[in-house]
C-alpha cells in the first residue's frame, strides 16, 4: 500500500492542504491537492496544488515567483487534511500581494483588513490576478 492510499480523499479525489510557515507557524493559505499534486509535492520538495478553477496542476509560484519550499508534510488524525510546513519565498503567499490569505479579522460585527499589501498584484501577475 502506498502512503498516498492512507489519505481520505473527498468525493472529487481531493484533500485540503494548509500551507504554514515553518518558522513562525503562521497559516499562509489553504488550497486543494489531488493524488498527483501531493506525490509531486513530496518528490519535488515544493508546493504543487490542484487548481479547481483551472482544472490543472498549479505549481505555487510558477507565475509570481513566490515558491513554497517544502520542509515537512503532515497528515491529520482523520487522514483528511494535510499541512505543508513551508518556506515562503518572497514573503508573499496570497494573490492579493499579502503574506497570508488570512489577512482579515472579525471584530465588532465586521471583517477588518489587518495585513498590508506587500506588492501590488498587478505588478506580480501582470493583470492575471492569481498565484
User: What residue segments make up the domains of the chain, in order of their start?
Assistant: 3-90
Q: What pLDDT was estimated at residue 126? A: 83
pLDDT for res 131: 52
What is the pTM assigned to this prediction?
Answer: 0.92
Looking from the CA of 22 toward its CB, the CA atoms found within 13 Å total 13
Q: Is 47 left (phi over 0), alpha (psi -120 to 50) or beta?
A: beta
Cβ-contact 31, 49 below 8 angstroms: yes
Query: How far apart, in whole angstroms, are the C-alpha atoms of residue 96 and residue 73?
Result: 25
Q: What is the spatial distance between Cα 123 and Cα 89, in angstroms, rounded to a whole number?
A: 17
Q: Provide the residue-wise pLDDT of the chain in tens; the chain has 131 residues.
A: 899 999 999 999 999 999 999 999 999 999 999 999 999 999 999 999 999 999 999 999 998 999 999 999 999 999 999 999 999 999 999 999 999 999 999 999 999 999 999 999 999 988 655 55
Beta strand 15-21 pairing with 82-88: parallel
The confidence score (pLDDT) of residue 1 equals 83
Architecture of the domain whose range is 3-90: Roll (3.10)
Amino acid at each position: 500500500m502506498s502512503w498516498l492510499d492512507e489519505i481520505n480523499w473527498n468525493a472529487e479525489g481531493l484533500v485540503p492542504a494548509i500551507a504554514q510557515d515553518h518558522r513562525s507557524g503562521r497559516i499562509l493559505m489553504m488550497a486543494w491537492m489531488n493524488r498527483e499534486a501531493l506525490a509531486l509535492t513530496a518528490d519535488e520538495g515544493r508546493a504543487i496544488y490542484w487548481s479547481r478553477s483551472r482544472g490543472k496542476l498549479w505549481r505555487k509560484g510558477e507565475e509570481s515567483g513566490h515558491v513554497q519550499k517544502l520542509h515537512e508534510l503532515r497528515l491529520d488524525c482523520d487522514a483528511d487534511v494535510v499541512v505543508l510546513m513551508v518556506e515562503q519565498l518572497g514573503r508573499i503567499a496570497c494573490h492579493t500581494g499579502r503574506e497570508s490569505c488570512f489577512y482579515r479579522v472579525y471584530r465588532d460585527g465586521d471583517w477588518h483588513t489587518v495585513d498590508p499589501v506587500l506588492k501590488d498584484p498587478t505588478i506580480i501577475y501582470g493583470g492575471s490576478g492569481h498565484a
